[in-house]
Copies of this chain bind each other. A is one copy, B any other.
Amino acid sequence: MLKGNAIVGQSGGPTTVINASLAGVIKGALNSSVIDIVYGAQHGIEGVMSESFVNLSERFKDPAMLELLINTPAAYLGSCRHRLPKEFNETFENIFKTFKKYNIAYFFYIGGNDSMDTVLKLSQYAKQIDYPINIIGIPKTIDNDLAITDHTPGFGSAAKYIASSIREIARDAQVYDNNTVTIIEIMGRNAGWLTAAAALAREEKEASPHLIYLPELAFDVDKFISDIKKVSQKYKNVIAVVSEGVKTKDGKYVCEGATADIVDSFGHKQLSGTARVLADIVHEKFGWKVRSIEFSLLQRCAAHLASQTDLTEAEQIGTAGVETAIKGETGVMMYFKRVSQNPYKVEILYHDISKIANVEKTVPREWINEEGNDITSEAIEYMLPLIQGECKVRFENGLPIYLKR
């Protein structure tokens, strides 16, 4: 059992529960007899490289502060999109010099599949130079696209936000007695989990959203137009949900051409405007009023509507990460195994990171309907437990209050 200090960092796009996992790690570290100080690396691995640390043991001595941290959206420590080099060069030497300097025996990294690459490389390098450290990945992504785990912390809250908001928008979009089409665009470049969550919005006797298109299947604009026409014969106000990442069968994003070719630092194309492109096409075709709506950042930061199940699990998996590290595991990611559906119950386990880093889990074909414009009841069954429970965000003066930085 290693003794020493710990570093925790946050990486990739934030979620509403990424700080709950941070709080879980801090609690686990504060409760352990082998971890002395837990440092927070500012802006993920970049904070390690620049020695930008916050003493979290000091800052979170007051349990009330930790409780406020749990409900605070967006990476409290700051985040980064930084990929470590392929070669074990001086970047790694410097990181491990810093580890040595700060007597680091534990490293926790909260992130998605790109960030798990950092966990993989650091743990491989540690093994190579025989440096005694336990390096653990804590999963986080609204996209729910990590392998091995039943689901990812962050997904449930984003799904709850998306379903609640679409339920409300559907009410609004149906007040007029003329033909309208509302096209809602949801995040998720290659994995359609969040887009699928739109189906949860349906109320008894309510068919909206009427159409749902995931990026897992090729998108056919003509089929989309004929789907809208068909729905409009029954419902004057059609509500369709599309993933930002839908592509035509020749592999082109629907939004391509419409947006500048902006690429993020992981090399992913910045997408936006899919709904708008489709809205223009539909308006031209039918002449109806067509509205495009993008939820944008709101789906990953609307902490006032977080799923309590998600918050609780995110905190637990953080603490479990610390316990697993103390047992001597390294180069692993913590994950959820769903051991029971009714009642819903998960176990927290860990798995070799090399099977997880850089792998994307998409929605299985059998959870998408035959026609490719809706999801199946199995997908709904899978998602429903993850959005349960309302969080207890504190309001002051009419607005939610979050932890000051």
What is the interface of chain A, defined by CB distance below 8 A to chain B? 10, 14, 42-43, 46, 72-75, 78-81, 160, 163-165, 167-169, 171-177, 182, 200-201, 203-206, 260, 262, 264, 270, 280, 283, 289, 291, 293-294, 296-298, 300-305, 307, 384, 387-390, 395, 397-402, 404
Contacts and interface: CB of A to CB of B under 8 A. Distances in A.
Contacts of A398: 160, 163, 200, 307, 384, 387-389
B387 A171 contact: no
Q: What 10 A-B pairs are tightest by C-beta distance, nearest first?
A: A74-B171, A387-B398, A172-B301, A79-B175, A74-B172, A168-B301, A43-B177, A75-B175, A388-B398, A293-B296
A296 to B, nearest CB: 5
Given A74-B175, A296-B291, A399 B169 contact: no
Contacts of A388: 397-398
B296 A402 contact: no
Given A387-B399, A398-B388, A172 B293 contact: no
A298 B78 contact: no
B304 A305 contact: yes
30 contacts: A14-B171, A73-B171, A73-B172, A74-B168, A74-B172, A74-B175, A78-B174, A78-B176, A78-B177, A80-B176, A81-B176, A160-B398, A160-B399, A163-B398, A164-B304, A164-B399, A165-B298, A167-B402, A169-B298, A169-B301, A171-B402, A173-B297, A205-B404, A206-B404, A260-B280, A260-B283, A262-B289, A270-B289, A293-B297, A384-B397
Contacts of A280: 260
A165 B294 CA distance: 14
Contact of A390 (B42, B289, B297, B395): B395
Contacts of A201: 399
B387 A14 contact: no
Looking at A173, A175, A289, the one whose CB has the most chain B CB atoms below 10 A away is: A175
A78 to B, nearest CB: 5
B400 A297 contact: no
Contacts of A264: 289
Contacts of A80: 176-177
A176 B387 contact: no
Nearest to A200: B399
Contacts of A387: 398-399
Looking at A176, A303, A305, A397, the one whose CB has the most chain B CB atoms below 10 A away is: A176
A198 B150 CA distance: 38
Contacts of A204: 404
A72 B303 CA distance: 22
A289 B265 CA distance: 11
A175 B260 CA distance: 23
Contact of A174 (B74, B163, B307): B74
